[in-house]
Amino acid sequence: MTKPGDTVRYLNEVGGGVVTRVEGKIAYVNDDGFERPVALNELVVVIPAGHAQTGAKLMFDQQAYDIGRTNKRNKPEAPKQAASAAPQPPVAAPEPEPEDFPIEETDYGDAMNVVMAFEPKDVRKLDTTTFNVALVNDSNYFLSYQLLVTGKNPGEWSTMARGEVAPNEIADLRTLEHDDIPGMARIVFQAIAYKKDKDFTVKEPLNALRKLDLTKFFKFHCFRPGLYFETPVLEVPLFSEAIRKKKK
């Protein structure tokens, strides 16, 4: 049962927040500072009230959430590429090692939710700071992905990052310098979803084109904590699937 203090996700749209109160069949959710009334049957509890948030970047059961980032999550980033430099070949992620933590699935995670986030190193110095580019895989699927940015010639694209992200994980893709920001005006995220060592429902390949408002990288109010981050970030939704309720 949903109760005040629960961190929740919306069933049929991206986003969520913390429940401030419940009245009958309506919960009031603190969503970016605004109290939003939502029907209880349109919410999923991702972090129960009273569970300490340790800063871990795993979602969304407490056991997984408490594990935190392991060495496996500190993936090597692609080398910095200046805007005027010739495109460099992308650096492939290393071969995956045997998992040193359990793959935990959630009862709603077969409905995929994928978000990209830009996390400033120092949000007080947006004119000079670097940004960590992170990928949120809020699902029960592994994602084999690549992130594309515009190339030198019209209609061409260059691979900025590629690799694999585990279920219910946030993966660091690379560090973004200020010289790289102009090349982020248009991005393409492509991914194939699958599960390992078990049967699963096949998903269509993801191919999301997004146009980014680059002025937001310089506006303090555009960076804020959210459902996935305790620190201020600029979130870009890439893909969201409505959760289907299981038949009883």
The domain in which residue 38 lies consists of 1-51
pTM greater than 0.75 (yes/no): no
Q: Would 56 be classed as within a structural domain?
A: no
Same domain, residue pair 80 and 35: no
Same domain, residue pair 41 and 85: no
Q: Would 65 be classed as within a structural domain?
A: no
Same domain, residue pair 101 and 201: yes
Same domain, residue pair 170 and 99: yes
Same domain, residue pair 133 and 193: yes
- Output the pLDDT for position 59: 46
Q: Would 62 be classed as within a structural domain?
A: no
Of 72, 78, 79, 77, which Cα lies nearest the Cα of 95?
72
Q: Would 248 be classed as within a structural domain?
A: no
Same domain, residue pair 97 and 220: yes
Q: Does position 83 have pLDDT exceeding 70, yes or no?
A: no
- Output the pLDDT for position 192: 96
Same domain, residue pair 38 and 153: no
Same domain, residue pair 120 and 35: no
Q: Residue 2 sits in a domain of what CATH number?
A: 2.30.30.30
Q: Would 63 be classed as within a structural domain?
A: no
Same domain, residue pair 100 and 201: yes
Of 46, 68, 45, which Cα lies nearest the Cα of 56?
68
For 168-172, 182-186, 239-243, which range has the lowest pLDDT when averaged over its residues? 239-243
Average pLDDT, the chain: 79
Number of domains in the chain: 2
pLDDT digits (tens, 9 = 90+) for 206-236: 999 999 999 999 999 999 887 888 889 999 9
Higher pLDDT residue, 47 or 29?
Answer: 29
Instruction: List Cα–Cα distances, 108 to 43, 50, 113, 186, in angstroms.
Output: 11, 21, 10, 31
For 46-50, 130-134, 205-209, 212-216, which range has the lowest pLDDT when averaged over its residues? 46-50
Same domain, residue pair 9 and 47: yes
- Output the pLDDT for position 75: 42
